Structure 1
Amino acid sequence: MSDKNLSRRAAAEISFNGINITSSIRPYLLSMTYIDNEEDETDDLQITLQDRESIWLEKWLTEAVDAAASAPGSAPGGYSVGDIVQFTGSFHYISSTDDAGYTAIPGPAQITLSNPGSKHPWHLIHTDNTSNVYGWVNEGDFQGMDGNGSENNSSAGLKIDAVIVRENWNSDGKDKLLPCGQFELDSVDASGPPATITIKATSLPFGAQIRQTKKSHAWEACSLSGIAKEIARSNGMVCMYESVGDPFYARLEQVKTSDIAFLSTLCHDAGISLKATNSILVLFDQAAYEAKSPIFIIRQGKNGGYTKYKMNIGTANTKYSSCRVSYVDPSTGRCIEATARTEDYNADAKNNQQLEISAKVSSIAEAKALAEKHLRLHNKYAKTATFTLPGNPDLVAGVTILLEGWGAWGGKYIITQANHSVSGSGYTTQIKLRKVLEGY
């Protein structure tokens, strides 16, 4: 809680390898930007520092990176980074040394960092929706889950945790947190004048094994969820499979392809979205996310609450009015096919475009479902919009909002990217939207 009599403010809490450096970095911090993506892209973090005295260039950053490179991936007590455990406590903390914590719900979680000897020596991230634990916890606040451990493939890179704290925003003394997640150092840029240091970090580093190692592997009698869980396990991650559909494959060949590229191809072919964040692979059905109730309304006009906007109706790519999926069973010669159509489909229109997909399906129902997903995949960016607003932690990728009074652009949209930035000018949120597709 904040003092109701103080002006509203937003601040960035930053930890390097589990050590809260917020007070040390605050005099130099020019801005921190967190980019949250809905699918396909990694989440990113960018920290910009003023370095007039060359402290970061000549000493501090080098020491931090060197310390991270020698940091172990495990800690005493029988647990290691990457293990899946059952969180049993009731609080989590922004850093391993904080005094004040926030309420957390028990449930399964993954150990993502350790800081032996600190007040809260373990960093946990929940692995499903039963828990919300996302931070540092006490030694006795979790227990092992037999048979659910994962391989320790923690990177030697510098781990950066960030949280945006919005304080007394509505003059009610209440604070609101946006846990940005855990990132790994990706690059450092020095420029000037004026002398600045830009630290860039990502949720899935380019050098990570899941992105870099080319593999050849035969997958037999397996489902998409099974493949995703095995890829996650072998790369020290966990998997959240949130799609009702789960394609089954008699045999697949992964030939000299990285795990993430192979999994991404399977997901696109199946019409399922993929996101890699915070040591978690998330596979989900966009239609289910789009069906959720809007959490926010942007009304056109001077009282709309936005500072900038931009809208577009795309014509670069053809909008398909229908999609047909077909498959000829080689053993029987039987053709299985189904067609999905847009909600405003007009059979008499002369400019109808049909998307043709050839894919293995076992029933007409499966063909219809796949046709709907591919039609959605190709049409989903027909209407887009971008808004810049005062900082709002609720506006994250994957939630839906309503646009009211915007004419042809009115209706329900889903956030494809949320850009949260804290600087000396305040806290702003820029959201990129696409129109929710209805009827298919």
Structure 2
Amino acid sequence: MTEIFDARRATVTIDYNGVDITTELSRFLIEFTYTDAPPGQLDEISITLEDKGQKWQGPWNPTEDDQVIAAIRTYHWRWTDDFQYYPTGVFYVDTFDFDGPPDKVSIKAVSLPVSSFIRQEQQTRVWEEISLRAIAQDIAGRAGLDLGYYATDNPHYERLDQNEQSDLGFLNETALKEGISVKLTGGQLVLFDEADYEKADPVATLVRGDDRILTYSFSWGTSYKAYRACVLTYTNNEDETISATFIPPGAPENGPVLRVNEQVDSYAEAMRVAKNRLREKNKEAGKASISLVGDARFSSAITLNMSGWGRFDGKYITESVTHKVGSSGYTTDLEIRKVLGW
């Protein structure tokens, strides 16, 4: 009697315009890549296929905005009977390339239809007496998207000018100034405060020497030295000056100070803006890249601990995550930064 053991493996399932083509596609699949992008950028999938028969260049050639739904499944991955399912969301074909010899094609799709006006159409508009959430709701509604607003603050504006910008670009720019991140995923326009996500419990601890870690890269440099405080000063047309200094908890007594001159209407707004500018600068000071044996626990904006890396130990948050399934098996690449903690 022959015993059959289930193999440790990772597979990709793909629905194309509502049709499950997983089995047929598996004969041609070279590599599948999913990038859970940083805030302000679109998530993306890339499907690379062998095409010696020129089917994908001919009768199977994709069309702009074809819909792709993909997922990664793992079997007996970390241990026997460990099954994981990683849905990547809904994507729309954006790019098609082929090269050779031998012939192969690459189909790329993003998380927003190319035809969506909020992505490419340039708009000029004045927004008056409106909140950030209301702006996001307006843009989401006109694009046929649901809105997920998870930020604690909801800044109000007397007037904002959108000058020859796409709606998505304008929203990204406005939210970023408020320390709020924008993501578009699963048919939903999501706004969230990254500082809140930094407080979440880590999903994992990566210890130096763990054989799941394939490669790593850490660095520091004086170009990205963290500022200890931010001083914002603004003088209006009536020659009235508003000044605010934000010093985060645990800041050293000595160190460089970030100085900002930006229009604000109150001391409270000045403090909020000073904090956000300091966060944006100091986020650059503690970044790293990690490549792992595939791990479906990781997506963007989740936290993890690093241990055994000396001065680089600590709690980090993922900025972007890339999952790949191909000839090298299943791997996960992380772009991470240290949490600021305030």
Match of 1:88 in 2: none
1:278-293 matches, cutoff 5 A: 278-293=186-201
Match of 1:307 in 2: 214
Q: Which residue of 1 aligns with 2:312?
A: 409
Matched letter for residue 359 of structure 1: Q
Distance in 1, Cα, partners of 2:126 & 2:286: 40
Deviation per CA, 1:5-55: give whole Å up to 9, x if none. 301111000111111100111100111000002311111100000111222
Q: Relative to 1, partners in 2 of residues 1:234 and 1:4: Cα closer, same or farther, differing over 3 Å?
A: farther
> Does 2:257 correspond to 1:353?
yes
What's the counterpart of residue 77 of structure 1? none
SS at match of 1:380: helix
Residue 339 (1) aligns with residue 245 (2): yes
Query: Contact conserved, 1:7 with 1:171, CA < 8 A, in 2?
Result: no
- Structure 2 unaligned residues grouped into runs of 5+: none
8 Å contact kept, 1:305–1:390: yes
Task: Report the AA paired with residue 281 of structure 2.
Answer: H
> SS of 2:73's equivalent?
strand
Q: Displacement of 1:314 after TM fit?
A: 4.0
* Aligned-partner residue type, residue 249 of structure 1: Y
Aligned with residue 425 of structure 1, among 317, 328, 331? 328
Output the CA distance in 2 between the equivalents of 1:219 and 1:44: 31
Secondary structure of the residue aligned to 1:307 is strand
Which of 94, 110, 123 is the matching residue for 1:186?
94
Structure 2 counterpart SS, 1:398: coil
Q: Do the aligned residues in 1 keep the contact of 2:145 with 2:188 (CA within 8 Å)?
A: yes
Q: Any unmatched runs of 5+ in structure 1?
A: 66-155
Of 46-55 and 164-173, the range deviating more from structure 2: 164-173
Which AA in structure 2 matches 1:423? G
Q: Tell me: CA distance 1:425–1:317, structure 2 relative to 1, closer, same or farther (3 Å).
A: closer
> How far did 1:278 drift?
2.8
Letter in 2 for 1:322: A
The one-letter code sitting in structure 2 at the alignment partner of 1:234 is: R
**CA deviation after TM superposition for structure 1 residue 344, in Å:** 5.3
Structure 2 counterpart of 1:18:
18
Answer whether contact 1:415 1:433 (CA < 8 A) is retained: yes
The one-letter code matched in structure 1 to 2:186 is: N
Aligned counterpart in structure 2 of residue 390 of structure 1, from 293, 299, 322 = 293
Residue of structure 1 equivalent to 2:226: 319
Hey, what does 2:143 align to over in structure 1? 235
Percentage identity across paired residues of the two chains: 33
Other-structure match for 2:118? 210
Q: CA deviation at 1:212?
A: 1.6
Does the CA-based 8 Å contact 1:222-1:250 persist in structure 2?
A: yes
Q: Identify the match of residue 200 of structure 1 among 108, 130, 133.
A: 108
The one-letter code matched in structure 2 to 1:358 is E
Q: In structure 2, what is the Cα distance between the partners aligned to 1:18 and 1:203?
A: 16
Which letter does structure 2 place at the counterpart of 1:312? Answer: S
Per-residue deviation, residues 196-243 of structure 1 (Å, max 9, x unmatched): 111111113555311221222221211000001101111111211111
Alignment of 1:55-70 (within 5 A): 55-61=55-61, 64-65=62-63
Shift of 1:297: 0.5
Instruction: Return the letter of the residue paired with 1:352.
Output: P
Q: Does 1:164 align with 2:72?
A: yes
Partner of 2:127: 219
Deviations 1:50-95 (A, max 9, x none): 111222222222xx53xxxxxxxxxxxxxxxxxxxxxxxxxxxxxx
Deviation at 1:316, TM superposition (A): 3.4
Q: 1:371 Cα shift?
A: 1.6
Aligned length: 340
**Contact map agreement 2:231 2:257 (CA 8 A) in 1:** no
Q: How does 1:113-152 map to 2 (within 5 A)?
A: none
Is the alpha carbon distance of 1:304 and 1:342 closer, same or farther for their aligned partners in structure 2, counting shifts above 3 Å? farther
**After superposition, what is the alpha-carbon deviation per residue over 1:245-289, rounded to whole angstroms, capped at 9, x for unaligned?**
111011222232211121112112212111222332111111001
Please give the alpha-carbon distance, in whole angstroms, between the structure 2 residues aligned to 1:28 and 1:4: 27
* Whole-angstrom CA distance in 2 between matches of 1:358 and 1:10: 51
Q: Give the aligned residue type for 1:241.
A: Y
Once the two structures are superposed, what CA deviation does each residue of 1:123-155 show, in whole Å capped at 9, x if it has no partner? xxxxxxxxxxxxxxxxxxxxxxxxxxxxxxxxx
The ranges of structure 1 where at least 4 consecutive aligned residues each deviate by more than 6 angstroms after the TM superposition are none
Aligned pairs (5 A) from 1:242-261: 242-261=150-169
Note the alpha carbon deviations across 1:362-387, whole angstroms, 9 max, x for none.
Answer: 343x4323322210111102111111
State the match for 1:368 in structure 2.
Answer: 271
Distance 2:20 2:8 in 1: 23
RMSD (CA atoms): 2.2
CA distance in 2, matches of 1:409, 1:193: 44
Does residue 51 (structure 1) correspond to residue 78 (structure 2)? The answer is: no
Query: 2:37 is aligned with what amino acid?
Result: N
Local SS of the residue matching 1:375: helix
TM-score (norm 1): 0.73
Flag the 1:35–1:4 CA change in 2: closer, same or farther, 3 A.
Answer: farther
CA distance in 2, matches of 1:270, 1:237: 22
Shift of residue 358, structure 1, vs aligned partner? 1.8
> Contact conserved, 1:158 with 1:185, CA < 8 A, in 2?
yes
The answer to whether structure 1 residue 33 and structure 2 residue 33 are counterparts is yes
Separation in structure 1 between the aligned mates of residue 322 and residue 313 of structure 2, nearest angstrom: 22
1:146 matched to which residue of 2?
A: none
| Whole-Å separation in 2 of the counterparts to 1:371 and 1:11 | 47
Equivalent residue, structure 2, for 1:266: 174
